[in-house]
Amino acid sequence: MSGPLRVVHYVNQFFGGIGGEDQAHVGVTAKAGPVGPGRALETALGDGARVEATLIGGDNFVSERGEEAARAITAELDRIKPDVLVAGPAFGSGRYGLACALACKVAQGRGIAAITAMHPENPGASSARREIYIVPTGASTTSMPAALNALAPLVRRLGRGETLGPAEVEGYIPRGVRRVHDRGRPGYQRALDMLLVKLHGRPYRSEVPYAAPERVPPAPPIADLSRARIAMVTTGGLVRKGNPDKQVSANAVRYHRHTVSELESLSPADWEAYHAGYFNHIVNSNPNYILPLSFLRDLERQGRVGKVHEHIYALPGVSTPVAVSAGHGRSIAADLKAGGVDGALLVAT
């Protein structure tokens, strides 16, 4: 290869300097040279590579009009003819992650090497990790420097036409590719070796990847429920009749807050479930099954609960990545705290 590596960088409307959510509808455009994080990417790549152009796509446009977005990305790649496409990093942003995955798949379909970076729980990673190379990142942009430094060496190698080795060696998210390989010793012998190493307190690496679940310490008990303000949060997909707020049935990108200050219970004439993870018919006959407003009103009248919070919070929990769910949880918790809520009843399906 003569000359520096030619790189095209894909970013969303925010990192492309167009705007925030109010501009998430914009289509795919191209700008010459690096834009936003592309400047730091070019620095990380070094003198042997140059960001020729930046493709910018609105998160809503790319996620909702994928075929049109793919055609636009294809046209720009055919025009620029890069050696490699880099998308993101998308961190924990779900729509951005899905868009980065789409850009990488389009590039690979044109015979162009591609790689992206995002949080392992990003829906873009969970949906496309078997098809593309994805470097793991933190959930927020604070991990940008580390993400670009991890991306750079892989970008250079892919752009030169090299084949990457195993995920555990190269640092990308495992793709689940299975190859015939002789480890030289039977599995039971390797397992016994690992056990002995572990018993002696020495470092070892399991052949079976394990991600330990996050441990969240419980909040202290409420001292006096008769003075407490109690809220309700459900992942059962509760919606107003007809779903006027356009809640999705799975992979929630947002939650919905409804006012119930004037309601004694949830009527099936006004409320229903919109959720892809369970049979909704029973809930639709009595929505209080997934959000027991009528029960809490009884406790409120009896003085056993001080006050039922005026807002309820609802979303479908099914298929929502952990990182995205954590973001929803933090936002709901901040709203509850601002509203003076003492405790919340979390209702699953």
- Name the domain boundary from 126, 144, 170: 170
> What was the pLDDT predicted at 101?
94
Q: pLDDT grade, residue 217 (50/70/90)?
A: confident
Whether residue 127 is contained in a domain is answered as yes
CATH number, domain with residue 94: 3.40.50.2300
162 and 235: one domain?
no
What does the pLDDT read at residue 227?
Answer: 95
163 shares a domain with 23: yes
The CA-to-CA distance between both ends of the chain, in Å, stands at 57
Is residue 197 domain-resident? Answer: no
Number of domains in the chain: 2
Residue 235 structural domain: 225-347
DSSP state at residue 265: S
State the pLDDT at residue 139: 83
Across residues 11-15, what is the average pLDDT?
94
C-alpha triplet 255, 259, 260: angle, nearest 5°? 120
Mean pLDDT for 302-313 is 96
Instruction: Flag whether 87 is in a domain.
Output: yes
Residue 211 binned pLDDT confidence (cut-offs 50, 70, 90): low
CA distance 304 to 222: 12
266, pLDDT greater than 60: yes
CA atoms of 190 and 81, how far apart (whole Å): 47
pLDDT tens for each residue of 155-194: 999 999 998 888 888 889 988 777 777 778 899 999 999 9
| Residue 205 falls inside a structural domain | no
> For residues 328 and 254, is the Cβ–Cβ distance under 8 A?
yes
Residues 147 and 259 grouped into a single domain: no
Domain boundary among 145, 170, 195: 170
Q: Tell me which long-range contacts 291-299 makes (C-beta under 8 A, separation of at least 24).
A: 291/232, 291/234, 291/236, 291/238, 291/266, 291/347, 292/232, 292/345, 292/347, 293/232, 293/260, 293/263, 293/264, 293/265, 293/266, 294/264, 294/265, 294/266, 296/230, 296/232, 296/345, 297/264, 297/265
Q: Tell me, what's the pLDDT at 93?
A: 86
- pLDDT value at position 121? 84
For residues 149 and 266, give the distance between their C-alpha atoms in angstroms, rounded to a whole number: 52
219 in a structural domain: no
Indicate if 166 and 284 belong to the same structural domain.
no
Q: What is the overall mean pLDDT for the chain?
A: 90
Residue 262 has pLDDT above 60, yes or no: yes
**Domain end residue (candidates: 170, 195, 212):** 170
Residue 182 lies in a domain: no
Q: Tell me the C-alpha distance between 15 and 38, whole Å.
A: 9
Q: Both 38 and 145 in a single domain?
A: yes
DSSP label at residue 13: T
Q: Is residue 196 part of a domain?
A: no
Q: What average pLDDT does the segment 135-143 reach?
A: 88
The DSSP letter of residue 215 is P
The predicted model gives 39-50 an average pLDDT of 92
Per the model's pLDDT, the better-predicted residue between 321 and 152 turns out to be 152
Q: Are residues 255 and 110 in the same domain?
A: no
Q: What integer pLDDT is reported at residue 323 of this predicted model?
A: 73
Q: Rounded mean pLDDT of 268-281?
A: 91
Shared-domain flag, residues 75 and 150: yes
Where is average pLDDT lowest: 136-140, 146-150, 206-210, 242-246?
A: 206-210
Task: Mark whether 16 and 131 lie in a shared domain.
Answer: yes
Q: Are residues 161 and 237 in the same domain?
A: no
pLDDT value of position 198: 93
Statement to judge: residues 232 and 114 lie in one domain: no
pLDDT digits (tens, 9 = 90+) for 91-127: 988 889 999 999 999 999 999 999 999 998 888 888 8
Please check whether residue 41 lies inside any domain of the structure: yes
Comparison of pLDDT for 212 and 236, the residue scoring more = 236
- pLDDT-based confidence at 251, cuts 50/70/90? confident
Pull the structure tokens for residue 197: 């190493």
Mean pLDDT of 250-256: 89
Say yes or no: 147 and 232 in one domain.
no
The reply to whether 153 and 269 lie within a common domain is no
pTM of the model: 0.61
